[in-house]
Chains A and B, each alone.
Chain A
Amino acid sequence: MRRLTRVALALAFGLTFGGCRRSAQNIPADATREETRELATMVHVADPRTSLQLIRGFHEIEQNAWRWTMARFAVTLRAPSGASEKGATLVLQGAVPDPVIAQLKAVTLTADVEGVPLPPETFTRPGEYLYRRDVPPKAFPAEAVTVNFTLDKALAPGEADHRELGIVVTSVGFEAK
Chain B
Amino acid sequence: MKAVVRAAWWLVPVAFFASFYWLGLRIWFHQDDFAWLNLSLHVRSWTDLWEALFAPRSFGTIRPLSERSFFLSFYALFGLDAVPFRIAVHVTQFANLILLARIAQRLTGSRLAGMLAALFWAASSVLAAALAWTSSYNQILCALFLLLSLYWLIRYAETGRRGYWIAQWMSFLAGFGALEINVVYPVIAAAYAWFWARAHFRKTLWLFPPSILYAVMHQLAAPKPESGVYAPRFDATVLTALWRYWEMALGPSRLTPVWPEFARWELAATTALGAALLGFVAWHLARRRWRYAFPLIWFLALLGPFLPFSGHVSDYYLTAPMSGLAVLGAWAVASGWNAGGWRRGLAIALAGLYLAVSLPTTRTVLRWHYERGRMARTLVYGLARAKQLHPGKTILLTGVSTDLFWTAVFDKPYRLLGLTQVYLAPGAEENIKADPELGDVSEFVLPPSVALEALERKQAVVYDASGDRLANVTGPFYAVARRRWSRDELPRRVDAGNALFSRFLGPEWYPVEDGYRWMPQRATVRLGGPARSLRVRGYCPSAQVAAGPLYLTVRANGYMFPRVELRRGDAPFDLSFRLPDAVGRASEIRVALEVDRIFARPEDGRPLGLVFGAIEAR
Q: Do A and B come from one complex?
A: yes
User: Hey, which bits of chain A sit against chain B, CB under 8 A?
Assistant: 9, 12-20, 22-25, 27-40, 48-49, 51-53, 55, 60, 76, 78, 143-144, 146
Cα distance A143–B476 in the bound complex, in angstroms: 11
Q: How far is the CB of A85 from chain B (nearest CB, A)?
A: 21
Cα distance A143–B463 in the bound complex, in angstroms: 22
**A24 engages B479 (CB within 8 Å):** no
Q: Show 22 residue pairs from A and B whose CB-CB distance is below 8 angstroms, ordered by the A residue.
A: A9-B73, A12-B77, A16-B75, A16-B76, A17-B43, A20-B415, A20-B416, A23-B384, A24-B381, A24-B416, A27-B388, A31-B384, A33-B469, A33-B471, A36-B472, A37-B471, A48-B464, A51-B464, A51-B466, A52-B399, A52-B425, A144-B479
The dominant DSSP class at the B interface is: helix
> Restricting to B206-250, which residues have a CB under 8 Å from any CB of A?
none
Given known contacts A22-B79, A33-B471, A51-B466, is B476 in contact with A39 (CB within 8 Å)? Answer: yes
Q: A residues within 8 A CB of B43?
A: 13, 16-17
**A9 engages B476 (CB within 8 Å):** no
Q: Which residue of A lies closest to B485 (CB)?
A: A55
**A12 engages B470 (CB within 8 Å):** no
Q: A residues within 8 A CB of B75?
A: 16, 22
**Most chain A CB neighbours (cut-off 10 Å) among B76, B79, B382:** B76
Cα distance A33–B399 in the bound complex, in angstroms: 14
Q: B residues within 8 A CB of A78?
A: 479
Q: B residues within 8 A CB of A55?
A: 427, 480, 483-484
Not counting A31-B378, A35-B472, A52-B427, a sample of 13 additional A-B residue pairs whose C-beta atoms are within 8 angstroms of each other reads A12-B73, A13-B72, A13-B76, A14-B76, A16-B76, A17-B43, A20-B415, A24-B380, A31-B470, A32-B385, A32-B471, A39-B475, A76-B480
Q: A residues within 8 A CB of B467?
A: 33, 48-49
Question: Is residue B473 contacting chain A, with contact meaning CB distance below 8 A?
Answer: yes
**A52 engages B480 (CB within 8 Å):** yes
**B40 engages A48 (CB within 8 Å):** no
Q: Which residue of B lies closest to A76 (CB)?
A: B480
Question: Is residue B69 contacting chain A, with contact meaning CB distance below 8 A?
Answer: yes
CB < 8 Å: which of A20, A29, A52, A60 contacts B464? Answer: A52
**B76 engages A144 (CB within 8 Å):** no
Cα distance A37–B44 in the bound complex, in angstroms: 43
Q: B residues within 8 A CB of A38?
A: 475-476
Q: Which residue of A lies closest to B415 (CB)?
A: A20
Q: A residues within 8 A CB of B399?
A: 48, 51-52
> Restricting to B410-429, which residues have a CB under 8 Å from any CB of A?
415-418, 425, 427
Q: A residues within 8 A CB of B326?
A: none
Q: A residues within 8 A CB of B471?
A: 32-33, 37, 49
Q: A residues within 8 A CB of B479?
A: 39, 76, 78, 143-144
Cα distance A143–B480 in the bound complex, in angstroms: 11
**A144 engages B483 (CB within 8 Å):** yes
**B480 engages A19 (CB within 8 Å):** no
Q: How far is the CB of B122 from chain A (nearest CB, A)?
A: 28
Q: B residues within 8 A CB of A33?
A: 467, 469-472
Question: Is residue B20 contacting chain A, with contact meaning CB distance below 8 A?
Answer: no
CB < 8 Å: which of A9, A15, A23, A49 contacts B418? Answer: A23
> Restricting to B423-471, which residues have a CB under 8 Å from any CB of A?
425, 427, 431, 463-464, 466-467, 469-471
Cα distance A55–B448 in the bound complex, in angstroms: 13
Q: Which residue of B lies closest to A21 (CB)?
A: B418
Cα distance A60–B417 in the bound complex, in angstroms: 32
Q: B residues within 8 A CB of A34?
A: 389, 472
Cα distance A9–B147 in the bound complex, in angstroms: 24
Question: Is residue B386 contacting chain A, with contact meaning CB distance below 8 A?
Answer: yes
Q: How far is the CB of A139 from chain B (nearest CB, A)?
A: 14
Question: Is residue B539 contacting chain A, with contact meaning CB distance below 8 A?
Answer: no
Q: A residues within 8 A CB of B76?
A: 12-16, 18, 22
Cα distance A22–B43 in the bound complex, in angstroms: 14
Question: Is residue B477 contacting chain A, with contact meaning CB distance below 8 A?
Answer: yes
Question: Is residue B398 contacting chain A, with contact meaning CB distance below 8 A?
Answer: yes
Question: Is residue B592 contacting chain A, with contact meaning CB distance below 8 A?
Answer: no
Question: Is residue B113 contacting chain A, with contact meaning CB distance below 8 A?
Answer: no
Q: A residues within 8 A CB of B100?
A: none
Cα distance A121–B518 in the bound complex, in angstroms: 59
Cα distance A25–B45 in the bound complex, in angstroms: 25
Cα distance A28–B469 in the bound complex, in angstroms: 11
**B385 engages A52 (CB within 8 Å):** no
Cα distance A110–B73 in the bound complex, in angstroms: 62
Question: Is residue B355 contacting chain A, with contact meaning CB distance below 8 A?
Answer: no
Q: B residues within 8 A CB of A9?
A: 69, 73
Q: Mark B76-99, 1 if CB is under 8 A from A, else 0.
A: 110110000000000000000000
Cα distance A50–B315 in the bound complex, in angstroms: 39
**B480 engages A39 (CB within 8 Å):** yes
| Smallest CB-CB A-B distances: 4 pairs | A12-B73, A48-B466, A15-B76, A31-B385
Question: Is residue B49 contacting chain A, with contact meaning CB distance below 8 A?
Answer: yes
Q: Which residue of B lies closest to A8 (CB)?
A: B73
Question: Is residue B499 contacting chain A, with contact meaning CB distance below 8 A?
Answer: no
Q: Mark B386-404, 1 if CB is under 8 A from A, else 0.
A: 1011000000001100000
**A27 engages B385 (CB within 8 Å):** yes
Q: B residues within 8 A CB of A30?
A: 469
Q: How far is the CB of A108 from chain B (nearest CB, A)?
A: 26
**A53 engages B476 (CB within 8 Å):** yes
Cα distance A28–B480 in the bound complex, in angstroms: 30
Q: How far is the CB of B64 from chain A (nearest CB, A)?
A: 11
Question: Is residue B41 contacting chain A, with contact meaning CB distance below 8 A?
Answer: yes
CB < 8 Å: which of A19, A36, A53 contacts B44? Answer: A19
**B385 engages A28 (CB within 8 Å):** yes
Q: B residues within 8 A CB of A20?
A: 40-41, 415-416, 418
Cα distance A60–B471 in the bound complex, in angstroms: 20
**A16 engages B72 (CB within 8 Å):** yes
Given known contacts A9-B69, A51-B466, A52-B399, is B483 in contact with A27 (CB within 8 Å)? Answer: no
Given known contacts A16-B43, A22-B79, A33-B469, is B381 in contact with A27 (CB within 8 Å)? Answer: yes
**B469 engages A31 (CB within 8 Å):** yes
**B416 engages A23 (CB within 8 Å):** yes
CB < 8 Å: which of B418, B470, B484 contacts A32? Answer: B470
Q: B residues within 8 A CB of A32?
A: 382, 385-386, 389, 463, 469-472
Q: Which residue of B lies closest to A29 (CB)?
A: B385
Cα distance A52–B474 in the bound complex, in angstroms: 11
Cα distance A30–B470 in the bound complex, in angstroms: 9
**A31 engages B381 (CB within 8 Å):** yes
Q: How far is the CB of B482 from chain A (nearest CB, A)?
A: 8
**A37 engages B384 (CB within 8 Å):** no
Q: B residues within 8 A CB of A15?
A: 76-77
Cα distance A38–B477 in the bound complex, in angstroms: 9
Q: A residues within 8 A CB of B483?
A: 55, 76, 144, 146
Q: B residues within 8 A CB of A40?
A: 476
